[in-house]
C-alpha cells in the first residue's frame, strides 16, 4: 500500500514539474525591420517583440565595420516589446546583436540583419 502511495505522489510531483522543465527559452518573436529584409526607407527606430517579458540587457546596431548610435540603455524593467531609436542611420547593411534575460533567469543572445537600400523603393 505504501508503494502505491509513493508511486502516486511521485507521478503527481513529476506531472507538476514537467511543464517547468520543458518551458521554452526566451526568443525574439518579431522585429521591425525583419531579419533578412531589405527596406527602402531609413528606419527611425527598431522594434523588438519577444515571446515573453524580458529584461533587454544589450543591444548593438552594427553597420559595416562600426557601431551605429541608438538610445538603448539597459534597464531593470521587464517588457515584451522594445522600441529603440536609431538616430543617424543611413543606407547600408546592418546587424542587431541583442541579449535578454528571461523569466527563467537565463541570458539569451541572438542577432538579426537587414539592409537599407533606397533604390528598392521603385521596385
What is the structure's pLDDT at 26? 87
Domains belonging to the chain, first-starting first, are: 25-122 (2.60.40.1220)
Instruction: Mention every residue, 6+ apart, whose C-beta is less than 8 A from residue 108.
Output: 25, 26, 27, 54, 99, 100, 101, 102
98 and 58 in contact (C-beta within 8 Å)? yes
Tens of each residue's pLDDT in the chain, 123 residues: 665 665 556 555 445 544 444 456 789 999 999 999 999 999 999 999 999 999 999 999 999 989 999 999 998 999 999 999 999 899 999 999 999 999 999 999 999 999 999 998 865
Q: 0.85 cut: is pTM over it?
A: no
What is the structure's pLDDT at 27? 95
CA 85 to chain centroid: 16
Q: What is the largest CA-CA distance in the chain?
A: 78
Amino acid at each position: 500500500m505504501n508503494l502505491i502511495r509513493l508511486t502516486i505522489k511521485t507521478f503527481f510531483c513529476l506531472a507538476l514539474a514537467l511543464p517547468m522543465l520543458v518551458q521554452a527559452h526566451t526568443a525574439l518573436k518579431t522585429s521591425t525591420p525583419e531579419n533578412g529584409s531589405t527596406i527602402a526607407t531609413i528606419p527611425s527606430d527598431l522594434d523588438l517583440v519577444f515571446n515573453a517579458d524580458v529584461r533587454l540587457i544589450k543591444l548593438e546596431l552594427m553597420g559595416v565595420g562600426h557601431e551605429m548610435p541608438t538610445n538603448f540603455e539597459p534597464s531593470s524593467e521587464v517588457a515584451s516589446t522594445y522600441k529603440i531609436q536609431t538616430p543617424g542611420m543611413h543606407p547600408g547593411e546592418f546587424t542587431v546583436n541583442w541579449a535578454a534575460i528571461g523569466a527563467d533567469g537565463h541570458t539569451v543572445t541572438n542577432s538579426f540583419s537587414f539592409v537599407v537600400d533606397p533604390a528598392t523603393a521603385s521596385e
